[in-house]
Amino acid sequence: MIWRGTFSLFFVFFFNFFFQRLFIFGTERETEHERGRGRERGRHRIGNRLQALSHQPRARHGARTHRPRDRDLAEVGRLTDCATQAPHPSRCLKRVPGVAVLQGRMFARGLKRKSSEDAEDADGGVAGLPAAPSYTLQRQSLLDMSLVKLQLCHMLVEPNLCRSVLIANTVRQIQEEMTQDGTWRVVAPQAAGRAPLDRLVSTEILCRSGREQEGEGDCPLPDPAPGQAPRRPQSSPWGLDGSREGRGGFQKSLDHIFETLENKTPGSVEELFSDVDSSYYDLDAVLTGMVGGAPTGPGLPAFAPTAAAPPSSTCRSDLGELEHTVEILVET
Amino acid sequence: MVTLRCQLGWAKGMPGSLTETDIGPSVVSPLDRVTPPSCKRQMMGPLSFITMNWGACPGHTMVLQPSERHNRDWSHGRLGPWCSPTGSPAPLSCETGCGEGSWILVCRLLVPTQVSLLSMEEDIDTRKINNSFLRDHSYATEADIISTVEFNHTGELLATGDKGGRVVIFQREQESKNQVHRRGEYNVYSTFQSHEPEFDYLKSLEIEEKINKIRWLPQQNAAYFLLSTNDKTVKLWKVSERDKRPEGYNLKDEEGRLRDPATITTLRVPVLRPMDLMVEATPRRVFANAHTYHINSISVNSDYETYMSADDLRINLWNFEITNQSFNIVDIKPANMEELTEVITAAEFHPHHCNTFVYSSSKGTIRLCDMRASALCDRHTKFFEEPEDPSNRSFFSEIISSISDVKFSHSGRYIMTRDYLTVKVWDLNMENRPIETYQVHDYLRSKLCSLYENDCIFDKFECVWNGSDSVIMTGSYNNFFRMFDRNTKRDVTLEASRENSKPRAILKPRKVCVGGKRRKDEISVDSLDFSKKILHTAWHPSENIIAVAATNNLYIFQDKVN
């Protein structure tokens, strides 16, 4: 029977798929992230971003009324502290006194948004301190901080969904505002033929390419239609690494797969991936947790976290081929 | 890895003296701070409570032993009476405070568990343990952080749950004529390990054993029933007393060993003889596997037959008798998880109408649902939301509007909600805005970015009504807690701390200064300790006795009215 043959081929392919994904991701990680795993990786990435941050003002603003170094260092200090101490609430209001004052001005009531008033703020700086940074810079740093928070998840305990949703909403709000301000560069959506994936074109890819360019400040965001939430910032534990697009397509294909296989417990399978969607695992952490002796269940569930791993950009083409093949199989 | 062994036992009377019959040794390994994460939760620390030092006569030192095996609930004997304090309490003034009088500290129950004073691998003289526990220890292991506090319906019992999965129940000291000042003191009644850490193999994640909520059932017979829940599982516990034991079995001898039937020559009827009171806690029901996300609230229905459990996206209705089924009554999970923007943060049944309940969301909205309308209450009956104040808008507006707790008033006419900076009282009949708004710590409004950075902005504070719905209370940082009198519109800030807590001392109202000039007793905003937060408080249902949980300490205050 033809369909049965296809069915079994399907199964074989399905498992190969997982294996391949794991393998691909494994090699990918070695080449791209040689600095280490887990939280170290996050920290180093923060370092990169901070350097990028320090480049921003110089490129974007010509004349400045304050010295760039102080504020950058202050922001660096603040963000670094955040990265290293994010999971532990502590008395941090006195940590960076300069920033505390800045924040007093930053997010006071009646937050001013017009650029003309930014100049006013810059002119009327606090005596003895550099003038308050511009609103856009503060917004950018808040965005970075939020993305860092989304990344730094607890390794072994399930992350707090409420907190993640709130941070994600904040990120989305910032992105929407940046879009309205026109500070986001709209990029045409990627290859045709993937209409449902249009809005899944990843912020991260574009951000990564944007970061690599000198003096590039804000990350470009495609498709700023207010109806569609700009990306799934909340479902990107990697922040700015990894491709969402391939993964999104992969998810949808897998859903098709499971439907055709008439899975007996579609709910649980859906839960599996939906939880993966909404959770913010650090793949490195999960993998190290698994390798490090945490008990693993049966073979298939053991791959579930890794299935969450977004493939990086270089293996997107491979995944694209796989997806294509899967779609063919589904349609037969 | 460092492992400490210690022997714990009872102590009665003067510290340092032990009677042999009281010692119930058990070798446990206290929580170790230098463990890899995977082994952290396998060890439990000893749990101990110390009564306040009353002066001439120190009170009891009691050291409890947790069960070594996870599935064995242990029980302990009841405490003997306290020593009576010498001297009379100082006269109290009634000028400060909220309500009728001032608040005095009744008892402070410490939960220190660090036993690093003990050397390794040695049998320690238990006298040394008692002496060391008499002194104040400021350290505490993370497992002792109290995560929920709840009075029962009569106020006689007070239950606390902690991060280590333990439930401790305190019972009120009985009033007696010659000891009228002892009213309102609570002693440990029972302790048991309610939840254990689990591992979800499917997701390779640990399920915390932290007790998220405890709810009492109204008492229907001699035993007490309570529901306790962690992130995934709800359990119904029965706490019962036993003060008699049967003696005179035919087939067993006094130690319980079987007798050789050939040696039995006479028959006798076993009789019940009184024994020392023993309090046992047994799990009667386990309601598991119904929640994918973390349970944040449970609420017992007024019909006393059903209850609901709410997690981030769903609310389930249970019957107490049926553990393998539950009804899903609210489901806000979107078809596409990418579109998730709102989660459920708290839920509660109406105190009198068994068909009505409310649930709050992370966007600052409250929905009231009627279960008679449909099986799945996705469409609310009433929707409470206050329009946003445009002048206060910032990037953190949504986060600080997220409601962390919702409570019905005892009358059932009002609901109170707590978001990050305010407490709001809503009338059930008015949906478009609250009838009262109280600022808890508005001085933090300018510090929101720092609080976002150190994650304090995500702290979930609870709020409580008093018995007559005239005063509301909620916690804040720096071990402060605030009370608002709805009738007189007065409010007071009090502190629950060790330094201010001599027994029977009046609590002095505290003030946080915002502006430049700081008066003598005020504390400035920048000096606040954000690691000391009071998230959980409880108010006695009929009297002015409050229980305040400050990290690992439980403070009980009462309102002294002469």
Q: How many residues does chain B have?
A: 562
Determine contact, residues B316/B375, Cβ cutoff 8 Å. no
Query: Of the candidates B205, B341, B453, which has its C-beta nearest A158's C-beta?
Result: B205
Establish if A161 touches chain B: CB-CB under 8 angstroms. Answer: yes
Q: By CA distance, what is B458's nearest residue in A?
A: A163
Q: Cα–Cα distances in Å, from B289 out to B6, B227, B232, B462?
A: 37, 16, 7, 27
| Shortest alpha-carbon distance between residue A5 and chain B (Å) | 30
DSSP A310-322: PP-GGGHHHHHHH
Establish if B282 touches chain A: CB-CB under 8 angstroms. Answer: no
Exposed, middle or buried by CB within 10 Å (0-12, 13-18, 19+), for B213? buried
Contacts of B388 in chain A (CB under 8 A): none
> Which residue, chain included where needed, has tokens 């498709």?
A223
Contacts of A169 in chain B (CB under 8 A): 341, 398-399
Closest C-alpha to B123, from B32, B4, B34, B2: B4
| Shortest alpha-carbon distance between residue B293 and chain A (Å) | 8
Contact B402 A166 (CB under 8 A): yes
Prediction pTM value: 0.59
Interface of A with B in 219-248 (CB under 8 A): 229, 232, 234-235
Strands B523-524 and B512-513: parallel
Count CB neighbours of B11 within 10 A: 24
Establish if B454 touches chain A: CB-CB under 8 angstroms. Answer: yes
Contact A139 B395 (CB under 8 A): yes
| Shortest alpha-carbon distance between residue A169 and chain B (Å) | 7
| Shortest alpha-carbon distance between residue A37 and chain B (Å) | 16
Query: Of the candidates B204, B391, B445, which has its C-beta nearest A110's C-beta?
Result: B391
Contact A90 B454 (CB under 8 A): yes
Interface of A with B in 24-43 (CB under 8 A): none
Q: What is the pLDDT along chain B (562 residues), one digit of tens a residue?
A: 222 222 222 222 333 333 333 333 332 233 323 323 332 232 233 332 222 222 222 323 333 333 333 333 333 333 222 222 333 333 322 222 233 345 665 555 544 333 333 333 333 333 333 333 333 344 457 788 999 999 999 999 999 999 999 999 999 988 766 655 556 689 999 999 999 998 888 888 889 999 999 999 999 999 999 999 999 999 999 999 999 988 888 888 878 788 888 888 889 999 999 999 899 999 999 999 999 999 999 999 999 999 999 999 999 999 999 999 999 999 999 999 889 999 999 999 999 999 999 999 999 999 999 999 988 888 899 999 999 888 888 889 999 999 999 999 999 999 999 999 999 999 999 999 999 999 999 999 999 999 999 999 999 999 999 999 999 999 999 999 999 999 999 999 999 987 766 777 778 888 888 877 778 888 888 889 999 999 999 999 999 999 999 988 999 998 875 4
Contact B392 A173 (CB under 8 A): no
Contact B453 A82 (CB under 8 A): yes
Contact A103 B392 (CB under 8 A): no
Q: Tokens representing B219?
A: 């008492």
Determine contact, residues A279/A150, Cβ cutoff 8 Å. no
| CA–CA distance, B210 with B231 (Å, rounded to integer) | 8
3 state SS of B100: coil
Query: Of the candidates A104, A106, A161, which has its C-beta nearest B293's C-beta?
Result: A161
Most B-contacting residue of A156, A200, A271, A283 (CB-CB within 10 A), to test interface: A156
3 state SS of B349: strand
